[in-house]
Amino acid sequence: MAGNEIILDVQSLKKYFHIRKGAILKAVDDVSFQIKKGEVYGLVGESGCGKSTTGRTIIRLYEATGGKVVFEGQDVHRLNPREMKTFNRKMQMIFQDPYASLNPRMTVGDIIGEAIDIHDLARGRQRMERIYELLRTVGLNAEHANRFPHEFSGGQRQRIGVARALAVDPSFLIADEPISALDVSIQAQVVNLLRRLQRERGLTYLFIAHDLSMVKYLSDRVGVMYLGKLMEEAPSGELYRNPAHPYTRALLSAIPIPDPQVEKTRHRIMLQGEVPSPVNPSPGCRFRSRCPVAQKSCADQEPKLREIAPGHRVACQVV
């Protein structure tokens, strides 16, 4: 269960990429949110909206262009190498592609054991026992430790990625679209594994995905991103019952409903127009070119996140 203690505080985070002379890609642009201890925070949006870049900047795989990432009271981007090593034990990442994120030349045992060696957590027989235990924790067998990644299916490889992330006993996991590269039949197994581990170990998650039904199932609160900006944030149930931002409504209308009669009668919001370029975007609301309720004022001023209900924030002038 999530408490009231804030474990992660993201303050006006920016990550810009200089892609050519005079052109700046604003992948993450002034994003702020907080995550409480024991909570699952879902971050959703279309491909290219900046979700994964946000996660990678939080864990400092990318250096921030601006803003702050405060984890357990420390500014992550100001930590020295020794402090970073301690931080890396507390926060780990599960990557999107289980085929690319595992070294094909290393055995599964060495992949999981690498972090154990770096942090000098166990040696010899104790090290191997820890690796076997981690494999069993994610639903694999101890004998899998001697095999190579190519001998496993996508779902099994993602389980290995989860075991690797758990090897240093972290308190916070960033799951970067951990199911998007998997078959639909396997996705639920991995999500159930993540949910069980969160319950058993008291973990806190930043769960990045574009599958809104999975986010609803797993998350306590949800943030919706569009073109580098956070457009809406609310408790999961509130967001799915009362979406306020036009973009959120369009996203939720695209979720398939397994009842053919209901699916036939419901209204699907089809967005018109092209997605604007995140390279030097024009002023005003970034969604206005596709927004069905846009007004002239939306081009003049960029909307700020404001609270419309307890815990429910939205960046829209029309709402």
**Domain ranges within the chain, ordered by starting residue:** 6-314
Q: At what angle do helices 124-137 and 108-118 cross, to 10 degrees?
A: 120
Tens-place pLDDT, residues 302-317: 899 999 999 999 999 8
Q: What is the CATH number of domain 6-314?
A: 3.40.50.300
Alpha carbon distances (Å) from 143 to 68, 189, 269:
43, 21, 50
Cα-trace Rg, the chain: 21
- Which has the higher per-residue pLDDT, 260 or 296? 296
Question: pTM for the whole thing?
Answer: 0.91
* Strand pairing category for 312-314 and 306-309: antiparallel
Looking at residue 231, the DSSP 8-state letter turns out to be: E
Tens-place pLDDT, residues 161-189: 999 999 999 999 999 988 887 787 788 88
Q: What tokens does 136 get? A: 């069993």
Burial of 219 (0-12, 13-18, 19+ CB in 10 A): buried
CA torsion 222→96→54→214, rounded to 10°?
-10
* Strand pairing category for 66-71 and 6-20: antiparallel
pLDDT at 255: 66
